[in-house]
Structure 1
Amino acid sequence: MLIREFGWADYDAVVSVWRTAGSDPLPRAELEAKLERDPELFLVASDGTIAGVVLGTYDGRRGFILRLAVDPARRREGIATRLLAELERRLKALGCPRINLFVLPDNAAGLAFWRYHGYLPAPDVVCTKPL
């Protein structure tokens, strides 16, 4: 399994992984803007097909994991762990001191995965405003 940077040829396969994993795909325009900033933090796991994807970002102060998804048919193969390890390595190389992420409270499997990898729930209140 090769962990590498996303390329536009991967877009349809990444959308497919997001959909089968239960996430809405990000529109091309959003990804274009994101890739102008830190393309090295958008990673795919590939062994001829895209099995997983992680979308990270770094604002100069904190790293964020915005999306981690693995094709449900490929879960329990260590793909998410490998994607996470490579993203963490890249964020650390950028000087990132802390990584944040969001998990929906009813996502027990997601919470267990993140806790297993050392991510602890924080009592922050998340506020959002669509523009």
Structure 2
Amino acid sequence: MRIRQFDWPDYEAVTAVWAAAAREIVPRAELEAKLTRDPELFLVALDETAVTGVVMGTYDGRRGWILRLAVHPGHRRQGIASELVAELERRFKALGCPRVNLLVMPDNTAGLRFWQELGYLPMPDVLCTKPLL
């Protein structure tokens, strides 16, 4: 397995991973806007032939955020997600990021267990959101 920064020729393969993992696909225009900020925090995992996993991170100068971690169902339980997170954490540290946050849906017990095994602790915050478009 190899991990590297996302490149535009990866887009179709990344959307295929998101679709296979039942994740919402980030539209191309939204991704273009994200990549103007911190492209080094959007990573893909590859085997010999294909993209097998993807994670998107962002850093606002105060906190890092882990977004959109997904591994293709046919490649799970091989350590891909953990390796993607570890590489993203290394990149956050290189930027001087002091803390990383992420969101887990309340009914995603397997996801919560995964993150806790990596040292992420649940916080009693309340998520508020407002669509602007």
TM bucket (normalised to shorter chain) is over 0.9
State the one-letter code of the partner of 1:32.
E
Q: Deviation of residue 9 (structure 1)?
A: 0.4
Superposition deviation, residue 37 in structure 1: 0.3
What is the percent sequence identity of the aligned residues?
69
Q: Which residue of 2 aligns with 1:103?
A: 104
SS in 1 for 2:31: helix
Shift of the alpha carbon at 1:30?
Answer: 0.5
CA distances 1:92-129 after superposition (whole Å, capped 9, x unpaired): 01000000000001001100100000000000010000
**Equivalents in 2 of 1:100, 1:50: separation in Å?**
25
| Alpha-carbon distance in 2 for matches of 1:112, 1:49 | 27
C-alpha separation in 2, matches of 1:105 and 1:73: 25
Matched residue, 1:13: 13
> Structure 1 residue 66: deviation in Å?
1.1
Matches within 5 A, 1:66-105: 66-105=67-106
TM-score (norm 2): 0.97
Q: Which runs of 5+ in 1 are unaligned?
A: none
Q: CA deviation at 1:24?
A: 1.1
Q: Tell me the number of residue pairs that the alignment of Structure 1 and Structure 2 aligns.
A: 131
Q: Deviations over 1:67-112 (max 9, x none)?
A: 1000011000000010000000000010000000000010011001
| TM-score normalized with structure 1 length | 0.99
The match for 2:119 is 118
**How far has the Cα of 1:63 moved from its partner?**
0.1
CA distance in 1, matches of 2:13, 2:113: 27
- Supply the AA of the counterpart residue of 2:45: A
